[in-house]
Structure 1
Amino acid sequence: MDWESYHEWNPFVRNQCITDASKRPLQQRPRVGDYLYIYPVHIPPSFDSPKLLPASSTFQRITVLDTHDYRCSWVSAQYPTWMLRTERWQVLVEVDEGDGRKKTRYETKEVFNGPLAYVIGAIVGDGIKKGFVAMAEGLKRRSEGVSA
């Protein structure tokens, strides 16, 4: 949820901010129903400027913010839902190692539906998958205090 520091560790999603429905940034803590402007998105993931394709962006509406169980979710807000509906979940889960030690597991899933989902999958589907892996690896390094 520390979106302001994404540029420090996340090679896939370089920035996110809370906005109103017209994408004007809001200086507030995220709440359910708020909009989330995610930009730039680097496909393939990179800390450098994009070389082949320009960086993209996406506009989402927050549907779940559960600080007790460490999960959040958002859905696409830039296309009619019949054309494209996406839903992204991110969850942190405490895992018992069996010897008294505990670890945290990061889980994420995004589901694409609608006619545009097939186009997106064909054009950038592999890049999105690589981006999710790069984001998870960056989050792991950041949480463990390891430099990239």
Structure 2
Amino acid sequence: MRDFVLRTLLTGFSLWIATLIVPGLYFDFGDVHSWWAKCGIVVLVAVVFGLVNAVVKPIVQILSIPLYILTLGLIHIIINALMLELTSWLTRNVFPWGLEVERFWWTAIFGALVISVVGWLTAILLPDDVDTLYS
């Protein structure tokens, strides 16, 4: 359970960093003004993003194996951008708040790259075993 919470918080952190860096990628908080509520929305968007990556992404990756071979793996960036766009669409249509991606081509692709790099850096900085995190 701690591993899930830690990964969700790190995903939320990487989404937040991406919204700071990438123009056109932002959180729509609706009528929420509380700082804690905004953090909760970021965490809920991170949960949706994690679910999309856990359920939809493996199916898309299996179906796109020929494109992985043809593009030497560069299609992975496009697939990550599609998962970001799908998360944006889900949060906008299910909740009154969520993640906004203005354009797919540069915003979603650059956002997916930033999220991947920040996630990679946080994975390097943290130990593999969550049990040793607090010792």
Q: What TM-score, normalized by structure 1, do the two folds share? A: 0.31
The structure that is helix-richer by fraction is 2
Q: What TM-score, normalized by structure 2, do the two folds share? A: 0.33
